[in-house]
């Protein structure tokens, strides 16, 4: 075998040099002869080396095939896609309408060629169609297109054996992205969005459970809570006594880290869960928001998220707790008005106090944790914003309990910090609260009563039934 | 790189397989760290040379060399059976078999659908790259302690258990999901082919069939246009000259979507000032009036950049809201969560069903009413005395 190989090699060199000189030919034949009579052991070694080289090349080729991104559009589909890309680019003068036409044709063709419905190729064309629909203001059509992708994924992920284990996490990642897109387009239907998110979470979280027994326990305890709620048809008011706040002061490390169990869809999952919390709140489901947020923060610690993200999550938990406290306050007044039993009034009151306490615990843990961070981490995204928002939140709590001087200082500090970190929405809010505070204090000074707390309480009690909660959810795209 | 001290010469506090450690001085940065031998089942003879578990090519190379060495020893044994000494026979046979056996043990790691070591090493590598730490191609990040074989085993056991559990769970709900998917596909096919027909008719401008053709192109959409890199740009002179693989990859639709749906959620609570409450009461009155003329908005704008106060409040007139469960994929959950008895038309809603639709109704109780009608089909109609006003 070796000899043959060598001759071929020689033949090749012959071909590249059209007219070899005699010297070269002589040398070559000498070389050949020398090779023929070299000792057999050496030949064995070379043989092996060649064999292993071949083996390695095959392995390498295989790995390249698996890991290198490449698309396998048929040439006719590819032709249509080129036309589509051309049309939507600057060269084609952003002609989305024409691009849509080509993409639709490409999809039709690809489907007739039986391209796998969860392949990156087919879903890629569908995403392009969705994007064109969005650009053409056809949100409903876009919504339907994205929904089809999500439904195909959901079907595939729940069909045992349909998706290879190693590609499941990647499908889940894409699934979560497209689900968030659906929620974004389906904004008039928050309840549907909630259920949709929930369904797709369960699939994603199941994937995490497989990779870590610890996480599996954490996730199951949340899942059963959700099931219980669906069965009983009503959510439990967040069980404030038992609620565990993941980020406790001084014990940030009691949750083991298990980053790889959450990859590669970690960011997508927490992004979607944050959105879920926001939707819960906008539909008034505070208990659901609290439960989801507590679990999310705990999981984020386990998933080894960036400190800024964890701090913002904890800050948001503090804010939700505050709102829950206000909800109990409303309940308390309602009970007083409806003349229910003293026990019910007291219960609402003590729940309110507990929520306020937990809320301030959250905010304070954020400040403490942030202080312990090394200075380079403190400059990272969301850390300064979390500090500013937590300071603000504490200020609002002090307003709630009537400590106006402390509130004033905290609000001022938060305004300063918000300005420093470019968190403009908070600057506006802090200024608004400060202006109101000044006005209130002026009023107090004019009035006869010198007891601030008493006066505040009277004002608070003045309106009996409060049907509204007030909050700002800043829901901005991360750019 | 630093100096590797073979396992055993350092203190033996760590007796597990991959936990052998030796102090190594980091290069460049002053920080010293402990180098742990990378984990493996069959490649242990390579000692500290074992590559990171996520470096499949490197593992493949070592595995290849090991296999070749093993088979060579066996071959030598056969060839030189008569001439070699007993000692050499034993060594060749023993070492050869050992090497092959070990290589055989390692191969399943390639085939297994789930390898905790791989995931762990990959995640550590990604993290180190993101944090600009030094990462070696062969070993991954230097300062990294892999899990032990016991942990690896436990993880694999858990995986197998959960896998079968979830398979079972999923197969129970799968037929519902499949139905929804097929329905959606059918609807979309019909819709798309209709739109395609319209687009092909060149006589008529497409925009006139659009519902919002006044603002034909959505300028608010914050998605970047197709990106053509500068070095590629001069070569693209017609659609046929587009290098599809390259351009498709640069503008990967899934990456673009990922960037598009990345959100920041920040919740800013507000204190309810006494005079705010007065205003709130007045606002409510105004709102109730506008509802009477049917102008109220029941839409909750959570799209691109919602930024405003959400007031959740009641309105006097019942509003009909139809949720097509087919299009929201999760109909069965909703249906099963509503006891049939509470779906009658005249019923005033109990607290539980208000909570079911997720309204802010706990404390308002009977002020909310709800009437629903359920058909055997998946279409469910809600009439909800409920509204959300975004201001």
pLDDT score recorded for residue B138: 84
CA distance to partner chain A, nearest, from residue B9 (Å): 30
Q: Which of A272, A104, A158, A131 is nearest to B180 (CA)?
A: A158
CA distance to partner chain A, nearest, from residue B343 (Å): 13
Cβ A469–B312 below 8 Å, yes or no?
A: yes
Is the ipTM, as predicted for this complex, more than 0.85? Answer: no
Residue B314: closest C-alpha in chain A: A467
Give the SS3 label for residue B23: strand
pLDDT band at A128 (very low <50, low <70, confident <90, very high): very high
Q: What's the token pair of residue B244?
A: 């599809």
A290 touches chain B (CB under 8 A): no
pLDDT band at B93 (very low <50, low <70, confident <90, very high): confident
Cβ B174–A392 below 8 Å, yes or no?
A: no
Q: Mean pLDDT over all residues of chain A?
A: 77
Considering only residues A470 and B74, tell me which one the structure prediction assigns the higher pLDDT: B74
A434 burial (CB, 10 Å; 0-12 / 13-18 / 19+) is middle
A211 touches chain B (CB under 8 A): yes
**Residues on chain A touching B310 (C-beta within 8 angstroms):** 281-282, 471, 473
CA distance to partner chain A, nearest, from residue B10 (Å): 27
Which residue in this structure is represented by tokens 């109609």?
Answer: B381
A103 touches chain B (CB under 8 A): no
Measure CB to CB from residue A319 to each of B123, B180, B268 and give the nearest one.
B268
Q: Would the pLDDT of B319 be above 70?
A: no
Q: Would the pLDDT of A151 be above 90?
A: yes
Q: Would the pLDDT of B384 be above 50?
A: no
Considering only residues A453 and B84, tell me which one the structure prediction assigns the higher pLDDT: B84
Considering only residues B284 and A62, tell me which one the structure prediction assigns the higher pLDDT: A62
Cβ A185–B223 below 8 Å, yes or no?
A: no
**Residues on chain A touching B74 (C-beta within 8 angstroms):** none
Q: Which of B2, B38, B7 is nearest to B21 (CA)?
A: B7
Q: Would the pLDDT of B125 be above 70?
A: yes
pLDDT score recorded for residue B204: 56
Spell out the residues 6+ positions from residue A173 whose beta carbon is closer than 8 angstroms to its own: A264, A265, A268
CA distance to partner chain A, nearest, from residue B79 (Å): 12
Cβ B274–A470 below 8 Å, yes or no?
A: no
Binding-face residues of A in 341-380 toward B, CB within 8 A: none
Orientation of helix B149-200 relative to helix B116-130, angle to 10°: 70
Measure CB to CB from residue B360 to each of A90, A199, A284 and give the nearest one.
A284
A400 touches chain B (CB under 8 A): yes
**Residues on chain A touching B334 (C-beta within 8 angstroms):** 195
Q: Which of A106-110, A237-241, A444-448, B140-144 has the lowest mean pLDDT?
A: A237-241
Span A445-450, average pLDDT: 58
**Residues on chain B touching A414 (C-beta within 8 angstroms):** none
Q: Counting one residue from A and one from B, how many pairs have CB atoms under 8 Å apart?
A: 439
Span B221-248, average pLDDT: 80
pLDDT score recorded for residue B212: 52
pLDDT tens, position by position, A319-354? 888 888 887 877 777 777 777 788 888 888 888 888
CA distance to partner chain A, nearest, from residue B373 (Å): 17
Q: Would the pLDDT of A8 be above 50?
A: no
pLDDT score recorded for residue A172: 94
- Residue to mutate among B261, B304, B368, with most A CBs inside 10 A, is B261
Contact B228, B247 (CB under 8 A): yes
Q: Which residues of A315-354 are buried (b: 16+ CB within 10 A; e: fewer)?
A: bbbbbbbbbbbbbbbbbbbbbbeeeeeeeebebbbebbeb
Q: Would the pLDDT of A97 be above 60?
A: yes
Cβ B261–A180 below 8 Å, yes or no?
A: yes
CA distance to partner chain A, nearest, from residue B256 (Å): 10
Q: Which of A299-313, B51-65, B79-93 has the lowest mean pLDDT?
A: B79-93
Cβ A183–B302 below 8 Å, yes or no?
A: yes
CATH of A72-168, one of 1.10.10, 1.25.40, 1.10.1660, 1.10.3470: 1.25.40
Cβ A181–B260 below 8 Å, yes or no?
A: yes
Rg (CA), chain B: 33
Rg (CA), chain A: 32
**Residues on chain A touching B145 (C-beta within 8 angstroms):** none
A298 touches chain B (CB under 8 A): no
Q: What's the token pair of residue A456?
A: 């505040």
Cβ B356–A234 below 8 Å, yes or no?
A: yes
CA distance to partner chain B, nearest, from residue A153 (Å): 9
Q: Which of B277, B351, B182 is nearest to A148 (CA)?
A: B182
CA distance to partner chain B, nearest, from residue A180 (Å): 6
Cβ B265–A278 below 8 Å, yes or no?
A: yes
pLDDT band at A127 (very low <50, low <70, confident <90, very high): very high
- Residue to mutate among A93, A111, A136, A217, with most B CBs inside 10 A, is A136
Measure CB to CB from residue A279 to each of B155, B226, B302 and give the nearest one.
B302
Span A189-207, average pLDDT: 87
pLDDT band at A477 (very low <50, low <70, confident <90, very high): low
Secondary structure of chain A in HEC code, one letter for each residue: CHHHHHHHHHHHHHHHCCCCCHHHHHHHHHHHHHHHHCCHHHHHHHHHHHHHHHHHHHHHHHHHHHHCCCCCCCHHHHHHHHHHHHHHCCCCCCCHHHHHHHHHHHHHHHHHCCCCCCCHHHHHHHHHHHHHHHHCCCHHHHHHHHHHHHHHHHHHHHCCCCCCHHHHHHHHHHHHHHHHHHHHHCCCCHHHHHHHHHHHHHHHHHHHHHHCHHHHHHHHHHHHHHHHHHHHCCCCCCCCCCCCCCCCCCCCCCCCCCHHHHCCCHHHHHHHHHHHHHHHHHCCCHHHHHHHHHHHHHHHHHCCCCHHHHHHHHHHHHHHHHHHHHHHHHHHHHHHHCCCCHHHHHHHHHHHHHHHHHHHHHHHHHHHHHHHCCHHHHCCCCHHHHHHHHHHHHHHHHHHCCCHHHHHHHHHHHHHHHHHHCCHHHHHHHHHHHHHHHHHHHHHHHCCCCCHHHHHHHHHHHCCCCCCCCEEEEEEECC
CA distance to partner chain A, nearest, from residue B90 (Å): 21
Give the SS3 label for residue B254: helix
pLDDT band at A21 (very low <50, low <70, confident <90, very high): low
**Residues on chain B touching A92 (C-beta within 8 angstroms):** 239
pLDDT score recorded for residue A458: 54
pLDDT score recorded for residue A461: 52
pLDDT band at B211 (very low <50, low <70, confident <90, very high): low
Domain boundaries, chain A: 72-168, 354-479
pLDDT score recorded for residue B316: 23
pLDDT tens, position by position, B322-380? 332 222 222 223 323 333 322 222 222 222 222 223 222 222 222 222 223 222 222 22
Span A436-462, average pLDDT: 62
Measure CB to CB from residue A85 to each of B171, B242, B361 and give the nearest one.
B242
Which residue in this structure is represented by tokens 């949100």?
Answer: A139
Q: Would the pLDDT of B218 be above 50?
A: yes
Phi, psi dihedral angles at B136 (to 5 degrees): -95, 140
Cβ A164–B173 below 8 Å, yes or no?
A: no
**Residues on chain B touching A144 (C-beta within 8 angstroms):** 184, 187-188, 191, 327
Spell out the residues 6+ positions from residue A252 whose beta carbon is closer than 8 angstroms to its own: A301, A369
Cβ A281–B267 below 8 Å, yes or no?
A: yes
Residue B124: closest C-alpha in chain A: A260
Does the model's pTM come out above 0.90? no
Q: Mean pLDDT over all residues of chain B?
A: 63
pLDDT band at A230 (very low <50, low <70, confident <90, very high): low
- Percentage of chain A modeled with pLDDT above 90: 15
Measure CB to CB from residue B65 to each of A52, A260, A327 and give the nearest one.
A52
pLDDT tens, position by position, B248-301? 888 899 998 988 888 888 888 877 765 555 444 444 333 333 333 333 333 222
A18 touches chain B (CB under 8 A): no
């Amino acid at each position: 075998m070796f000899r043959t190989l060598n001759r071929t090699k020689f033949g090749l060199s012959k071909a590249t040099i059209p007219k070899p000189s005699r010297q070269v030919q002589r040398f070559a034949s000498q070389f050949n002869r020398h090779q023929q009579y070299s000792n057999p052991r050496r030949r064995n070694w070379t043989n092996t080396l060649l064999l292993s080289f071949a083996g390695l090349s095959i392995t390498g080729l295989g790995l390249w095939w698996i890991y290198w991104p490449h698309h396998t559009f048929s040439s006719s589909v590819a032709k249509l896609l080129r036309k589509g890309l051309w049309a939507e680019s600057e060269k084609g003068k952003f002609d989305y309408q024409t691009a849509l036409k080509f993409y639709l044709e490409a999809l039709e063709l690809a489907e007739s060629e039986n391209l796998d419905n969860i392949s990156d190729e087919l879903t890629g064309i569908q995403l392009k169609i969705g994007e064109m629909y969005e650009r053409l203001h056809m949100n409903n059509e876009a919504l339907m297109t994205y929904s089809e992708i999500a439904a195909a994924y959901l079907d595939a992920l729940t069909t045992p054996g349909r998706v290879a284990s190693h590609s499941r996490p990647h499908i889940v990642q894409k699934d979560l992205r497209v689900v968030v897109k659906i929620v974004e387009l389906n904004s008039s239907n928050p309840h549907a969005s909630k259920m949709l998110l929930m369904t797709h979470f369960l699939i994603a979280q199941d994937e995490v459970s497989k990779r870590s027994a610890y996480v599996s326990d954490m996730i199951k305890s949340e899942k059963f809570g959700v099931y219980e709620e669906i069965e009983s048809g009503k959510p439990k008011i967040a069980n404030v006594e038992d609620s565990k706040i993941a980020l406790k002061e001084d014990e940030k490390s009691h949750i083991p880290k298990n980053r790889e169990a959450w990859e590669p869809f970690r960011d997508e999952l927490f992004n979607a869960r944050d959105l879920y919390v926001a939707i819960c709140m906008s539909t008034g489901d505070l208990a659901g928001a609290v439960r989801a947020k507590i679990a999310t923060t705990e999981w984020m610690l386990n998933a080894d998220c960036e400190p800024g993200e964890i701090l913002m999550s904890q800050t948001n938990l503090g804010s939700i707790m505050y709102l829950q406290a206000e909800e109990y306050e409303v309940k308390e007044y309602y009970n007083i008005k409806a003349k229910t039993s003293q026990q019910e009034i007291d219960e609402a009151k003590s729940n309110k106090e507990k929520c306020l306490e937990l809320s301030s615990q959250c905010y304070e843990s954020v400040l403490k944790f942030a202080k312990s961070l090394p200075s380079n981490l403190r400059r990272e995204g969301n850390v300064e914003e979390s500090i500013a928002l937590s300071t603000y939140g504490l200020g609002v709590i002090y307003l709630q309990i009537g400590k106006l001087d402390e509130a004033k200082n905290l609000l001022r500090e938060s305004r300063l910090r918000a300005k420093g970190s470019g968190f403009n929405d908070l600057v506006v809010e802090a200024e608004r609260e400060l202006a109101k505070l000044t006005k209130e204090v002026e009023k107090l000074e004019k009035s006869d009563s010198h007891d601030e707390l008493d006066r505040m309480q009277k004002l608070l009690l003045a309106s009996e039934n409060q049907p509204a909660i007030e909050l700002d959810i800043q829901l901005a795209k991360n750019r | 790189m630093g100096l590797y001290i073979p396992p055993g010469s350092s203190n033996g506090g760590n007796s597990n397989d991959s936990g052998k450690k030796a102090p190594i001085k980091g290069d460049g940065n002053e920080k010293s760290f402990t180098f742990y031998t990378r984990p493996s089942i069959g490649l242990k003879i390579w000692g500290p040379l074992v590559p990171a578990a996520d470096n499949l090519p490197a593992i493949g190379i070592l595995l290849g060399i090991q296999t070749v060495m093993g088979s060579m020893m066996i071959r030598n044994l056969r060839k030189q059976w008569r001439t070699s000494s007993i000692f050499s026979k034993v060594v060749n046979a023993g070492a050869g078999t050992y090497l092959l056996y070990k290589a055989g043990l390692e191969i399943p790691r390639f085939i297994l659908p789930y390898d905790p070591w791989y995931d762990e090493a990959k995640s550590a590598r990604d993290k180190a790259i993101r944090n600009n730490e030094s990462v070696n191609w062969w070993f991954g990040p230097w300062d990294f302690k892999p899990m032990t074989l016991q942990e690896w085993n436990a993880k694999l056991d858990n995986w197998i258990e959960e896998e079968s559990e979830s398979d079972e769970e999923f197969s129970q709900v799968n037929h519902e999901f499949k139905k929804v998917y097929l329905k959606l596909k059918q609807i979309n096919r019909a819709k798309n082919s209709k739109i395609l027909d319209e687009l092909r008719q060149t006589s008529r401008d497409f925009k006139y069939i659009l519902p919002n053709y006044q603002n034909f192109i959505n300028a608010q959409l914050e998605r970047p246009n197709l990106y053509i890199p500068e070095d590629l740009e001069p070569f693209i002179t017609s659609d046929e000259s587009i290098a599809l693989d390259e351009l498709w990859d640069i503008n990967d639709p899934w990456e673009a979507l990922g960037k598009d749906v990345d959100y920041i959620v920040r919740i800013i609570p507000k204190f309810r000032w006494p005079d705010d409450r007065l205003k709130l009461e007045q606002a409510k009155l105004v709102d109730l009036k506008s509802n009477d003329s049917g102008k109220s908005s029941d839409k909750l704008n959570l799209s691109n950049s919602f930024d405003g106060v959400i007031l959740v409040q009641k309105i006097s007139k019942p509003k009909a809201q139809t949720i097509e469960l087919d299009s929201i994929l999760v109909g069965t959950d909703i249906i099963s969560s509503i006891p049939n008895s509470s779906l009658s038309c005249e019923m005033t809603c109990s607290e539980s069903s208000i909570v079911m639709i997720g309204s802010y109704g706990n404390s308002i109780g009977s002020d909310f009413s709800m009437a629903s009608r359920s058909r055997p089909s998946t279409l469910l109609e809600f009439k909800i005395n409920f509204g959300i006003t975004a201001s």
